[in-house]
């Protein structure tokens, strides 16, 4: 019957459509349905150039989380808030460094897990940080022989 | 001269007020009526299901063309890898909602305006009124409620198909690595982009369906000609006004969202 | 209590410079049939539409069952909670719906009748209208007379208290014309509705009318029983009646 056909069509449309919407939102947009599944760590950098909210956080080259926000703290340091899933546990003496993928690619945060026994909890600071490598500075130092003079 | 400016301003303001009033009353009266689900299902069929083919086709070709165009532009900069970002972001933020809305206006909006216009001319709207059935609630309300669902869903379909189209030209036809393409698609899109796209889609749905229905419903008051010509004029105006409204609203929403 | 079901006083309506209705006063008793006659384009349909709240009158009061009809475009709620029906001159059937859907529409949308009851009602109505064979056709597939009967069925299915008929018999063959008029009369007996007709079928319609009103130049120039019509001293009225009868005799 015609009415049945219409109802079937509408049913399929709504179901598949909602799947498409959810796929977009969750898979592509990274929306979290369960908010309580992550925790945040803070890290202070002297330079976080090129790191934005949404940048990757990697451990050994594997993406594990994202940067939630980048702010300036009272000491004029860059305060980067990292968002990690609860399953990834970071030790107290972990090192956070700003890395670049390729020579001029995206900036991301690399975490090197430490070996200490005490774990970092939600809101804790990572004290050991390595700031962004300033390539221009590096090149100019290399070209003008600044590297040697520093070695003296 | 000043009087003309004043009176035409008042006219425009009154028109906007009339349209808003029309939309709100339609939804309100629809909520007071019987068999709401059945009417809503029919409206979803008309606005949603029947627009799937056109939206899918336009989405695919938009994606294909964007893959092609952006590839050659990005290749000049040596940044072919960014094809995924470019295709996904421009589709999700702008092209998806706008093109979907324009396609639905072409498919469902024009038929809506002429259908209601013919019903007005044939006194069918008066007949509904004398039966104690509010014609706005019966004819317009279900379609407005359906548009809130249909536009975002069709936009999502358009986005996904378009991104797939970009993959076809970028990776299959040209030589962007598939993994790189998809990786860039997934990493570049933020939730805010998707959310903004859906807000746009819902607003466009409300705007276009309201304008089309309004033009059809008042075809006897708004058209310069009568009868069949009046209806065809209404349908044309409905499509033109809705398309302009979509683009204007797109600019406004984008400037608010950024 | 004088039991005036519908009373109209001082009703005025103009379109541009054309004063269509210029002070209509009319009182209709409960369960009576009143016919309005008059030349084409004189404003008979406008009068009915004012009563049905489809046309906004300029001036005047319309009271239905003792309560005023609030004339406004704001709402489709029926005036004073009185169930009324309107049969349109051009039928105004929903042409994308089948005949049975058309007839069941008012019940489906405004009452909480079960599907079974609804089906019975519609079947009964289709039977009485001799439309049983075409219940699943569309209005465009029917002849003009059949469409008229569908419109009649749609108007009567809600068992209204007052029905406004805008030329219910125009375009029907003499036999069907008679049966439609008879049906109106029978339904009146059965359900006791009040009817207001606009008609051009001058001698036939008098058979069922309790009263006749003649609309000319914006006013009702004659209101009375059909028998009194012939005795009226108004020259123009007798000329109008003569013309109507003459035309009829010539065609027959």
Residues C161-175 have pLDDT tens digits of 888 888 888 777 888
For the residues of A74-89, what is the DSSP string, one character each?
Answer: TTS-EEEEEEEETTS-
Residues of B in contact with C88 (CB under 8 A): 123, 126-127
Q: What does the pLDDT read at residue C207? A: 79
The answer to ipTM > 0.85 is: no
Whole-number pLDDT of residue A31: 57
Say which residue, A147 or A8, is predicted with more confidence: A8
Residue C142: what are its φ and ψ, rounded to 5°? -100, 160
Res C27 pLDDT > 70: yes
Q: Do strands A107-112 and A95-100 pair parallel, antiparallel, or not at all (unpaired)?
A: antiparallel
Q: Which residues of C touch B29 (CB under 8 A)?
A: 76
- Burial (CB < 10 A; 0-12, 13-18, 19+), residue C110, is middle
Residues of chain A with C-beta less than 8 angstroms from the C-beta of B160: 20, 23-24
pLDDT tens digit sequence for B15-64 = 899 999 999 999 988 888 888 888 899 899 989 899 999 999 999 999 99
Q: Among the ranges A95-99, B233-237, C56-60, which has the highest mean pLDDT value?
A: B233-237
For chain A, the first-to-last Cα distance in angstroms comes to 90
pLDDT at residue number A104: 62
Residue B49 with chain A: CB contacts under 8 Å: 6, 9-10, 13
8 Å CB contact of B124 and C77 = no
Q: Do B122 and C90 touch (CB under 8 A)?
A: yes
pTM of the model: 0.79
State pLDDT tens for residues A11-53: 999 899 889 888 888 777 665 554 557 788 888 888 888 787 7
Measured over all CA atoms, what is the biggest interatomic distance in chain A, rounded to whole angstroms? 90
Q: What is the mean pLDDT of residues B92-103?
A: 93
Q: Which tens digits make up the pLDDT trace of C1-20?
A: 456 778 888 888 888 888 88
Q: Nearest Cβ partner of B123 from C83, C90, C112?
A: C90
CB contact under 8 A, B186 and A27: yes
User: Is A123 at the interface with chain B, CB within 8 A?
Assistant: no
Instruction: Among B19-28, B33-42, B89-98, C231-240, name the one with the lowest average pLDDT.
Output: C231-240
Beta-carbon separation of A28 and B185 below 8 A: yes
Q: Per-residue confidence at B154, pLDDT binned at 50, 70, 90?
A: very high
The string of pLDDT tens digits covering residues C68-83 is 766 544 444 454 455 7
B224: pLDDT strictly greater than 80: no
Q: Percent of chain C scored above 90 by pLDDT?
A: 0
Say whether residue C105 is in contact with chain B using an 8 A CB cutoff.
yes
Closest CB from B119, B130, B133 relative to C54? B130
Q: What is the 3-state secondary structure (H, E, C) of chain C?
A: CCCEEEEEEEEEEEECCEEEEEEEEEEEECCCEEEEECCCCCCHHHHHHHHCCCCCCCEEEEEECCEECCCCCCCCCCHHHCCEEEECCCCCCCCCCCHHHHHHHHHHHHCCCCHHHHHHHHHHHHHHCCCHHHCCCCHHHCCHHHHHHHHHHHHHCCCCCEEEEECCCCCCCHHHHHHHHHHHHHHHHHHCCEEEEECCCHHHHHCCCCEEEEEECCEEEEEECHHHHHHCCCHHHHHHHHHHHHHHHHHC
The answer to whether B113 touches B215, Cβ cutoff 8 Å, is yes
For an interface test with B, give the residue of C76, C78, C88, C89 to mutate (most B CBs within 10 A): C76
Q: Which residues of A touch B156 (CB under 8 A)?
A: 17, 20-21, 23-24
Q: Which chains touch A (3+ CB pairs under 8 A)?
A: B
Option in B33, B124, B129 nearest C109 (CB): B33
A6 touches chain B (CB under 8 A): yes
Check CB contact of A25 with chain B, cutoff 8 Å: yes
Q: Which two tokens stand for residue C127?
A: 């039977």
pLDDT, average across residues B127-136? 85
User: Which tokens hold the place of A113?
Assistant: 């897990």
**Which one of B147, B166, B194, B198 makes the best mutation probe of the A interface by having the most chain A beta carbons within 10 Å?**
B194
Q: How does strand C59-64 pair with strand C67-68?
A: antiparallel
Inter-chain residue contact B129 with C53, CB threshold 8 Å: yes
CB B138 within 8 A of CB B51: no
Measure B119 CA to nearest chain C CA, in Å: 8
Q: Would you say residue A150 has pLDDT above 60? A: no
Residue B20, CA distances (Å) to A67, A113, B14, B15, B26 in order: 43, 59, 10, 9, 10
- Which residue of chain C comes nearest to B28, CA vs CA? C75
What is the rounded average pLDDT for all residues in chain A? Answer: 79
- Mean pLDDT over all residues of chain B? 90
Q: Name the token pair of C197.
A: 């007709």
User: Is pLDDT above 70 for B2?
Assistant: yes
Contacts of B128 in chain C (CB under 8 A): 76
* Beta bridge partners of residue A91, listed in sequence order: A119
Mode of pairing for the β-strands spanning A78-85 and A38-45 = antiparallel
Task: Determine contact, residues C97/C176, Cβ cutoff 8 Å.
Answer: no
Q: Do B160 and A9 touch (CB under 8 A)?
A: no
- Quick check: C228 pLDDT over 60? yes
Closest Cβ–Cβ partner in A9, A18, A20 for B45:
A9
Q: What is the DSSP string of B123-185?
A: THHHHHHHTT--HIIIIIHHHHHHHHHHHHHHHHHHHHHHHHHHHIIIIIIS---HHHHHHHH
Distances in Å between the alpha carbon of B136 and those of A20, B33, B142, B148, B217?
Answer: 32, 11, 9, 17, 8
- pLDDT value at B241 more than 90: yes
- pLDDT, one tens digit per residue, over B166-207 is 999 998 888 888 888 888 888 788 888 888 899 999 999 999
Candidates B141, B125, B103; CA nearest to B24 is B141
Among A61-70, A135-144, C133-142, C243-252, the range with the most confident prediction by mean pLDDT is C133-142
Contact between residue C8 and residue C26 where contact means Cβ atoms under 8 Å apart: yes
């Amino acid at each position: 019957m015609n009415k049945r056909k219409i109802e079937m069509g509408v049913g399929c449309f709504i179901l598949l459509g909602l799947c498409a919407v959810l796929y977009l939102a969750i898979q592509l947009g990274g929306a979290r349905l369960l908010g309580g599944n992550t925790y945040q760590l803070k890290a202070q950098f002297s330079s976080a150039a090129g790191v934005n909210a949404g940048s990757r956080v990697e451990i050994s080259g594997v993406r594990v989380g994202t940067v939630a926000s980048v702010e300036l703290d009272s000491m004029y340091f860059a305060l980067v808030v990292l968002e990690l899933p609860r399953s990834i546990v970071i030790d107290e003496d972990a090192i956070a460094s700003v890395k670049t993928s390729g020579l001029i690619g995206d900036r991301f945060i690399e975490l090197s897990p430490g070996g200490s026994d005490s774990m970092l909890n939600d809101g804790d600071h990572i004290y050991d940080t390595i700031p962004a490598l300033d390539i221009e500075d590096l090149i100019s130092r290399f070209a003008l022989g600044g590297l040697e003079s520093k070695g003296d | 001269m000043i009087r003309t400016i004043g009176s035409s301003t008042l006219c425009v303001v009154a028109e906007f007020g009339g349209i808003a009033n029309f939309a709100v009353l339609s939804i309100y009266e629809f909520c007071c009526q019987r068999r709401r689900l059945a009417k809503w299902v029919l409206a979803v069929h008309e606005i949603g299901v029947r627009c799937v083919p056109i939206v899918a086709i336009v989405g695919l070709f938009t994606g294909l063309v964007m893959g092609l165009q952006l590839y050659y532009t990005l290749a000049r900069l040596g940044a072919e890898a960014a094809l995924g970002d470019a295709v996904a972001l421009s589709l999700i933020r702008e092209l998806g909602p706008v093109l979907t809305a324009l396609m639905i206006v072409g498919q469902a909006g024009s038929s809506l305006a002429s259908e209601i216009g013919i019903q007005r001319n044939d006194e069918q709207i008066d007949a509904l009124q004398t039966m104690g059935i509010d014609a706005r609630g019966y004819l317009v309300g279900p379609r407005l409620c359906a548009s809130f669902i249909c536009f975002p869903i069709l936009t999502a379909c358009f986005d996904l198909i378009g991104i797939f189209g970009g993959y076809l030209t970028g990776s299959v036809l040209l030589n962007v690595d598939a993994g790189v393409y998809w990786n860039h698609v997934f990493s570049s899109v933020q939730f805010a982009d998707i959310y903004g796209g859906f807000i746009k889609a819902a607003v466009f749905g409300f705007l276009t369906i309201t304008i089309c229905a309004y033009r059809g419903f008042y075809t006897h008051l708004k058209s310069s000609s009568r009868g069949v010509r009046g209806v065809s004029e209404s349908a044309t105006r409905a499509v033109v006004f809705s398309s302009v409204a979509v683009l204007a609203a797109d600019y406004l929403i984008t400037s608010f969202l950024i | 209590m004088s039991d005036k079901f519908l009373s109209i006083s001082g009703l005025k309506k103009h379109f541009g410079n054309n004063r269509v209705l210029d002070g209509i006063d009319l009182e209709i008793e409960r369960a009576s049939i009143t016919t309005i006659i008059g030349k084409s384009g004189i404003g008979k349909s406008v009068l009915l539409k004012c009563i049905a709240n489809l046309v906004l009158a300029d001036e005047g009061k319309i009271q239905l069952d003792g309560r005023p009809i609030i004339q406004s475009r704001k709402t489709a709620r029926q005036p004073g909670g009185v169930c009324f029906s309107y049969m349109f001159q051009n039928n105004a059937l929903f042409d994308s719906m089948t005949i049975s859907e058309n007839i069941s529409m008012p019940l489906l949308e405004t009452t909480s009748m079960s599907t079974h009851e609804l089906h019975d009602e519609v079947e009964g109505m289709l039977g009485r209208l001799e439309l049983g064979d075409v219940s699943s056709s569309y209005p465009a597939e029917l002849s003009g007379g059949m469409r008229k009967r569908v419109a009649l069925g749609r108007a009567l299915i809600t068992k209204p208290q007052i029905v406004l008929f805008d030329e219910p018999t125009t375009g029907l063959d003499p036999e069907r014309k008679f049966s439609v008029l008879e049906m109106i009369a029978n339904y009146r007996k059965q359900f006791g509705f009040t009817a207001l007709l606009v008609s051009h079928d001058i001698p036939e319609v008098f058979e069922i009318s309790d009263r006749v009103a003649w609309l000319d130049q914006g006013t009702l120039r004659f209101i009375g029983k059909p028998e009194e019509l012939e005795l009226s001293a108004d020259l123009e009225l007798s000329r109008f009646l003569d013309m109507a009868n003459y035309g009829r005799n010539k065609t027959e």
